[in-house]
Structures are given as C-alpha cells and as structure tokens.
Amino acid sequence: MLLHIKNMVCDRCIMVVRQQLENLGLQVPEISLGTVMILPNPTEDQLHQISSSLHILGFELLSKEKNQLIERIKNVVIQFVHHSDLKNLNESIMSHVSKRLNKDQAYLSRLFSDSQGVTIERYIIQQKIERVKELLLYGELTLNEISYEMGYSSNAHLSNQFKSITGMTPSQFKRLNNQVRLSLDKV
C-alpha cells in the first residue's frame, strides 16, 4: 500500500518515518519524500496507529487525493530547489513540476493557490530564499557564487527577491547574530 505523508521534507524525515513504520512491524520496500510503500497492507486499526505515531513526530497521513497532490508539489519543489543544479536549468521549475507530476501547469497552479493561499511561483521563491539563507550561513560562497548556483540572472535579482521575502538584504541577513531560517515544512 502506498501512503502519502505530509511534512516529509528531507532525508532525516525519510529515516525517521522508515524507523517508525518498521517499529510498528511494517516492511518499507520504498520510501521517498512524501510517499511510503508499506507491506503488508494495513488494517484500519493499523492505519489509525500509523497516523497517530506519525502525528506525534510532526507528520500527517494524507487521505484526500488533492491534499496528496499538494504535498507532492511541495516535495518536488523542495527536492528540485535544495538538491538540484539550478545554474544549468533549461526549463522553469514549474515546468519541471508539471512534467514530474504529469499534470497541467494551470491545474496545479490553481489547486496549489486555492489550497495554500500562495502561488506555486511564490512558494518556489520562498524555497530558493531558504536555500540562499543556508548558503549565506555556511559562509563558503560569495553572493555572486550563490546567485550563480541558484540560477539567478544577477545579484540584483537575488537581492530583490531576498528582500521581498525576508525584509532585509542578503548582507543585512548575514550580519545578524541570530539569523532566522525556517524549517522547510514551515515555508
């Protein structure tokens, strides 16, 4: 049975969910961001137990198809923004999401906006800015290099988006003693 799980945003989430399901006596032959294949097929009581144990850890078992699709959109964006080579991107991230989910861009945009109160494009920008914050905090790359790595056309473009999301410039953010980053499931 394939389960759809909300708030799985990183490799650690995958590890925690796998461990939790195995602790419940289930086999996990496949797991990725937002989805888990489990064996054997669980009973209703087991599904309730799975849901409760995941909820304690900050995850949510998704049962409605639209909610599952929203979560899949988020997972594809997170995977792409945080784990792909954006500097050599030949297509828009939205186009990639549409192809990956085999759904029309307009349909995905409408569904996401209606459900989340923000466009997919804005969500992509928010994810990119969280990645930029991470790279700024590491201090290993200059703003020029970060801009290039993240696929921005210029430092000015990156700085404008950064300021529109955070209210400060990348330089101001870097100078803060207590930099604020959001966990990916809170973006």
Backbone angles phi, psi at 181, to 5 degrees: -120, 145
Please state the domain extents for the chain: 2-63, 64-187
Tell me, yes or no, if the pTM score tops 0.85: no
What integer is the mean pLDDT of 5-27? 91
Specify the pLDDT at position 185. 65
Q: What is the pLDDT of residues 114-141, one digit of tens each?
A: 888 999 999 999 999 999 999 998 889 9
- Greatest pairwise CA separation for the chain in angstroms: 55
- State the fold for domain 2-63: Alpha-Beta Plaits (3.30.70)
**Size (the chain), residues:** 187
Sheet hosting strand 27-32, strand order edge to edge: 27-32, 35-39, 2-6, 60-62
27: left (phi over 0), alpha (psi -120 to 50) or beta: beta
Record the tokens describing residue 106, joined without a space. Answer: 């307009």
Specify the CATH architecture of the domain 64-187: Orthogonal Bundle (1.10)
